[in-house]
Chain A
Amino acid sequence: MAKKRERLGVIKDILRAIMKNRQIKPTRLLYASNLSPQMFKEYINELISKQFIKLDIDKKEKKTFSLTPKGQEFLQEYKMIEDFIENFGL
């Protein structure tokens, strides 16, 4: 059985999916994240509150997510954070 993804791993996957597409629609991001709609909503709210991503709404009310500079920094430093957690068993 596949190992359940850690919270930080899910965040990384969501951010990478956004980075790959630069701007991504909520439905496409939901598929890319491989989460249930309920869990997806929780993670998205968390990422918006942490200012890792932002929700853009255009004139036609079309919603897309994009990465903030803080989100980009997180992705760059992700390996370091992961190593720190694993090394100290946190």
Chain B
Amino acid sequence: MYEWIIQNKDLIKLFYASLIAIICIVITVRADKLFRLSLHQGIRYFRNAFIFYALAFIVRYLVEAIAGHGRITLYYPYINFCFEFLLIMAGFFLLYSLLWKKAEHSSEGYVSSLFNSRIFIFYSMSVIFAIVDVLWQTHLFLFLSQILIFMFAAFISYENYKKNDAKHKFPKFYFFAMLLSLFVWILNTTAELWFNWSQAILIGVYILNIIIFLLFLWGVIKVTKR
């Protein structure tokens, strides 16, 4: 089984990226419908997070799989920069969807969710992290940013789960998805720092990522299927 996976690595990567990109697009479309109806800022930032996740996976894996690994070697730093930038932004949007109530006031009115002063801070940080990672040929700033983001997100979603008083079942699973995401980023860091990108660890990361995105999708479909 393990041998088969290693031999068909590129095909599996293509399947993995396509699956996650499709999940993210479904979540985006469903969240966008609810946002257009309610103009709720939290739903808007949540939707944005999944737009960025979808773009990140399309840029990183699908472009590589479609163009062929050899042909894009020259462009790899640019692709990697885009991938890291989009992934970090997605993490920021997901965290901000949990925090926006504390940072924004209803009197501010509706401004663009992609171009405003607060989001500009996220853009700046994402660009800096992605550039440093590309220059140093590492992924450590991406990993570190995501570990911090998901530590905060796990803490906030735990508070939400406690506040929920068993009214809904999903906040427990959302907290679990955040914890699992945190674990995946720690696993990624471990793979780079101490295990020389062990294939076995990476397969584990892929499987866990699919579980995490399926959990998000399940939560969205559960509410919006009516």
Binding site for B on A (CB under 8 A): 7-8, 50, 70, 73-74, 77, 79-81, 83-90
Contact = CB atoms under 8 A, between A and B. Distances in A.
Given A74-B37, A77-B37, A80-B34, A90 B223 contact: no
Nearest to A50: B39
Contacts of A84: 31, 34, 43, 220, 223-224
Nearest to A81: B38
Main secondary structure of the interface of B (DSSP, over half): helix
Interface string B186-226: 00000000000000000000000000000000011011101
Interface stretch (B83-91, B114-122, B163-171): B163-171
Interface residues of B, number: 29
A42 to B, nearest CB: 8
Nearest to A83: B223
A87 B34 contact: no
Given A80-B34, A80-B223, A85-B40, A90 B46 contact: yes
B2 to A, nearest CB: 37
Contact of A74 (B38, B98, B174, B226): B38
13 contacts: A74-B38, A81-B38, A84-B223, A86-B167, A86-B168, A86-B171, A87-B219, A87-B222, A89-B156, A89-B157, A89-B171, A89-B174, A90-B46
A85 B43 contact: yes
B168 A83 contact: yes
A87 B168 CA distance: 7
A89 B168 CA distance: 11
Contacts of A90: 40, 42-43, 45-46, 97-98, 100
B160 interface: yes
A70 B222 CA distance: 24
